[in-house]
Chain A
Amino acid sequence: MADETNQLRVRLVTPERVLFEAAASAVELPAKNGYMEVLFGHAPLMAELGAGDVIVHGAGVAETDGVAGAQHYNVSWGFAEVLPDRVTILASDALKPEEIGVDRAEEQLVRGQKMWSEAGESEEAYTEALHVIAEAEAKLATAAEKH
């Protein structure tokens, strides 16, 4: 299994398309209960994702984004499978930082806060509001980092 390159094969898949597929040296994932970083040789793992950034380090030479070869993708909700030489991320929604509409994310945040204050006793509505807020905040954070 071990090849000399010690590279992970990373794939980021959304319901609509395969957004990213390349070899990389490390990936940071926004798991539901906190960020984690995966290096080559990680133990097999399945995780549910929350809202946040997937950061791919040292990916393909051709596509180097400004930040020292690290590529950011904003993902919200999904699942990830980690194998020693492979990481597959199934995201419900994934965006490149430049695709994030700051206005729309802000709108979403306002909407989420409104839902939160109107949720009252209903646990379902409360969780949904928190979901919306988390997603919007993650998007804004990614967008802010970029500028």
Chain B
Amino acid sequence: MANVLDLRRRIRSVKNTRQITKAMKMVSAAKLRRAQERALSARPYARMITSVLQSLTGRIEIFDPETGNLRHPLFATRPEKRVLLIIVSGDKGFAGAFNSNILKTAFQFIETNPDKEIDVEAVGRKGRDLMRRRYKAAEYVEETDEHGQTRQVRAERKGRVEVSGDHPGMLLKLETARVFKLAESVIARYVHEEIDAAYIVYNEFKSVIQQRLVVERLLPLIEIGSQQVAAAVEPTEEERERAGEAAISAGIALEPADTQEADEEARRFGTAQVDYIYEQPARELFNGLLPQYVSSMLYHAMTESVAAEHAARMTAMDSASNNASDMIDAYTLQMNRARQAAITKEIIEIVSGAAAV
């Protein structure tokens, strides 16, 4: 049996670990709260963009009546040969199975589409690291066209799946300007027919107990305002319960904040049943709004993923703290037993010594 001193040392070490995990849990809880607030304050804009686009699609034809062509290339559907997959993972570890679940879903998507060429765009450091290790980076060569202008052209593929770009640190300080740049690049690739569809894998987060992993189609736009989910993974009942417990102990509300009134208000944007005067032709407005819409979808996915990451870390750290407490209890019991055994042994020695005299 281990001696008392050793056990005492062990207990002290576990106690220190528990201090750290507890602190990390509280930090994650605070960050989660902030992330939730940010997701909430981004909602009105996203809703308004969606509703004004919906109302505009009702007013102008998507197809040009004269030529029969599409008004905007983002509505064009093509057979999916080349697909862009945006993977939103976390920047740091210590978040339980958060990152590995996202990557698992991403790999599943890649495996279930063996006949498609896939470009991977990684947002978040964890996802980037793994994707880079597994797949080759896309290469570009410069080419000069007949007008003497150079442009970047995709070099020949080295594999079915290639990493076309990554955005480390984007989630650390989420800025709409950067997200908009990414949206613009995705749109440009779609318009130039470099890709035939764009999907995004992320962790959807309505509240601590209402979240799931989704693969959502970003492009082509088929119907504005409806989520096009290609695949979804719901958390198990047990996971949900654990997350709920952790949230309660950190003082985080389980239910999403009630925003119905604000949502209703936002949904009315641009949809009044009157004839608007359009400063610019409706088509021009439409073309200006579409990139904003795609960008707001991306931004929405990222804010939710950030919130989910903090929630996952909070849950993981709560479990770690609980485990540390259990361990301390077990060791304390063991230590007391050892101490008692030592005392008993000494008394027996004294008594039997005295008896021998």
Contact = CB atoms under 8 A, between A and B. Distances in A.
B292 A92 contact: yes
A81 B147 contact: no
Contacts of B295: 15
A16 B173 CA distance: 12
Contact of A44 (B147, B274, B292): B274
A122 B38 CA distance: 38
Interface string A63-95: 000000000000000010101000010101100
B317 interface: no
B270 A46 contact: yes
A144 interface: no
B280 A15 contact: no
B41 A16 contact: yes
Interface stretch (B97-105, B250-258, B283-291): B283-291
Contact of B48 (A16, A32, A90): A90
Interface in A32-81: 32-33, 43-48, 79, 81
Contacts of A45: 276-279
Contact of B275 (A17, A18, A44): A44
B284 A16 contact: no
B288 to A, nearest CB: 5
A15 B149 contact: no
Contacts of B199: none
Given A45-B277, A48-B284, A15 B296 contact: yes
Nearest to A31: B279
Given A13-B44, A14-B45, A79-B285, A32 B176 contact: no
B202 interface: no
A17 to B, nearest CB: 4
Interface in B288-347: 288-289, 292, 295-296, 299
A90 B295 CA distance: 14
B269 A48 contact: no
A79 B176 contact: no
Contact of B299 (A15, A83, A88): A15
Interface size band for A: 20 to 34
B41 A81 contact: no
B289 to A, nearest CB: 7
Contact of B44 (A18, A43, A47, A48): A18
A121 interface: yes
A48 B270 contact: no
B277 A16 contact: no
Given A14-B45, A45-B279, A90-B49, A81 B269 contact: yes
B177 interface: yes
A16 B42 contact: yes
Contact of A88 (B48, B180, B278, B288): B48
30 contacts: A13-B45, A13-B48, A15-B42, A15-B45, A15-B46, A15-B176, A15-B299, A17-B42, A18-B41, A18-B44, A33-B279, A44-B274, A44-B275, A44-B276, A44-B277, A45-B277, A45-B279, A46-B279, A46-B282, A47-B279, A47-B280, A48-B285, A48-B288, A79-B285, A81-B269, A90-B48, A90-B292, A92-B176, A92-B180, A121-B149
Interface of A: 13-18, 31-33, 43-48, 79, 81, 83, 88, 90, 92-93, 120-122
The 9 closest A-B pairs by CB, nearest first: A47-B279, A15-B176, A17-B41, A45-B277, A44-B274, A46-B276, A44-B276, A15-B45, A13-B45
